[in-house]
Structure 1
């Protein structure tokens, strides 16, 4: 849940190859797909890949559910996989067409949101935390107090990504609640603290990778891969893991029921499960992936990056987001609607 900056379409191939071998329409998070990966895929298969960006799981779900979208593959987060399936928007995978399915790492092969990996394959996974320029703020960054009780040094300089599930969940954990909470007492604290904190934020926007690197922002609730990319450009930036609790996520590729380029979609899914190709995805966006053996092809700094390899002292506070029921989503949506006014 990743990981977004822009909304652009990337067309990677020549017209001749496209007409010879067909095309593929990938609907993915923004600034999340390696151009080099697409170039390699096109060179090997002749298939033209068009990437259309989205900025949230809810945006992607609404677009797909409305129909007439023309996409073949979508990349939702773990807690949305079952929603796509239950709504009949995706189809089970023909594993006979995916010989590289065997490359999925054991810990990602039989997951709670997709037993046996029969409807999705891994893209990338990571965490939701806080990127902070420590040259501006020297206090504890491993707490959601950084953005809910904004210190003076960060007032008017801190951004919050407009991702409802992540933000409401972080605030809920800060107030002692659990993900998908229906506890009205806790949710009132969540609502009140978000509304009180908002005047101290500079924005609710995507784009931390660029805006923190160039000094426009001093802090942002952010995703770990984006935060690593910032640090590589600005070494005073550090990534905090909220001790009150922070979400883990995995984004996975799913085949849409109304896909028009099914064979090409299978070719792409199998391609990205080769370790050297999965590494290209990670080297671009700076998130871990779920393919065994890909580490050997990753940039060396990925192996020790504190944004990618969760420090031992912060592991216990992380949790995978469950799929929230309708009532809890209604509560979250009500809080979010008020916050976004």
Structure 2
């Protein structure tokens, strides 16, 4: 579901007697393109108030859509938030600004395990925003059976047939199928990828829709009984909407992701972008962001003020293996594209 948040910048520069306050404020604007509902509006408003920078937040629902926009050039955005393997693709394609991330205040807040990861080994381009995993969610008002394997989703029992929903893109669905089949991510073996295609084609009659939008309403209302989805999103619809949903913990493993702040090449407001990234990574603001978004934080937060823990948010603390999605070779990506194209034709 696409959203756009437009917030009013301070008018203090025009007001008599506020010169000293306004002198500390930055000028201009900041345009952000992020996953839908991923950036806390209250924290954005706080940033605007403290800096005088006017912020616009637009939303995307897939890494593929974001990549296409950047490849087209002149996106008009100053910050975007791709997942790890797409950060790697964007760096290799020259689509991102070198913001010297390791020298930024925000870098000091990153948890050690997420510093200089394989997708940004020099630490020049990205500051992490949130991490989690992709799996499937069931509506327990409709489906009462086990959710300890991907078999439930990819080879659904009778009560789920025709009541499953998938995503519109292959980015996480195919790796999940590979987890189930015991096939390595980014396989360049056509025979192994045919196994993936055969599995998805056999599942297709049970799939009501392939869509990455409006998932919370589709699964929360019981329109479908199972939906490919994400950990924190499931937790939020369970907490906020009191939906009777459960996030599966398949023994074959979940598909991991980490989204980061990056700056597109040629962005008009790089300094403002870095100010925002530093602001969001501070202990207080990162905690507020975590409490809003409901996905795990790769930067330090105040645990005493964090709303979620193992007891009330088990979705965020997986009990099965999590394998991070990878940036595939051109040959492997071509096979992924072929599988998905044949599936949806």
> Could you state the TM-score of these two structures normalised by the residue count of structure 1?
0.91
Provide the residue aligned with 1:319 in structure 2: 323
Q: Counterpart of 2:286?
A: 278
- Mapped to 1, the partners of 2:339 and 2:218 lie a distance apart of 27
Pick aligned residue for 1:49 from 41, 55, 73:
55
Relative distance call for 1:94 and 1:176 in structure 2 (3 A) is: closer
Deviation above 4 Å: which 4+ runs of structure 1?
Answer: 17-20, 300-304
CA distance in 2, matches of 1:224, 1:96: 29
Structure 1: unaligned runs, 5 residues or longer: 1-5
Unmatched 5+ residue regions in structure 2? 15-25
Q: Name the residue aligned to 1:3.
A: none
Distance apart, 1:254 and its partner CA: 0.7
Please give the alpha-carbon distance, in whole angstroms, between the structure 2 residues aligned to 1:268 and 1:296.
24
Structure-1 residue corresponding to 2:2: 7
Which of 165, 171, 183 lines up with 1:165 in the alignment? 171
More helix by share: 1
**1:217 & 1:36 partners in 2: Cα distance?**
32
Mapped to 2, the partners of 1:329 and 1:300 lie a distance apart of 36
1:1-341 matched pairs, under 5 angstroms: 6-14=1-9, 16=11, 21-95=27-101, 98-206=104-212, 207-232=214-239, 233-234=241-242, 236-301=244-309, 304-311=312-319, 314=320, 317-341=321-345
Counterpart-to-counterpart distance in 2, 1:240 and 1:62: 31
Count the aligned residue pairs: 332
RMSD: 2.1
- Deviation of the 1:95 alpha carbon: 4.3
TM-score, L = length of structure 2: 0.90
Larger-gyration structure (1/2): 2
1:13 touches 1:46 (CA, 8 Å); kept in 2?
no
The 1:136–1:327 alpha-carbon spacing in structure 2 relative to 1, beyond 3 Å, is same
For residues 127-159 of structure 1, the C-alpha deviation after alignment (integer angstroms, 9 at most, x for no partner) is 111111223222221222222112111222221
Cα distance in 1 for residues equivalent to 2:81 and 2:58: 11
Q: Provide the rounded CA distance (Å) in 1 between the counterparts of 2:13 and 2:34.
A: 20
Mean Cα deviation higher: 43-52 or 131-140: 131-140
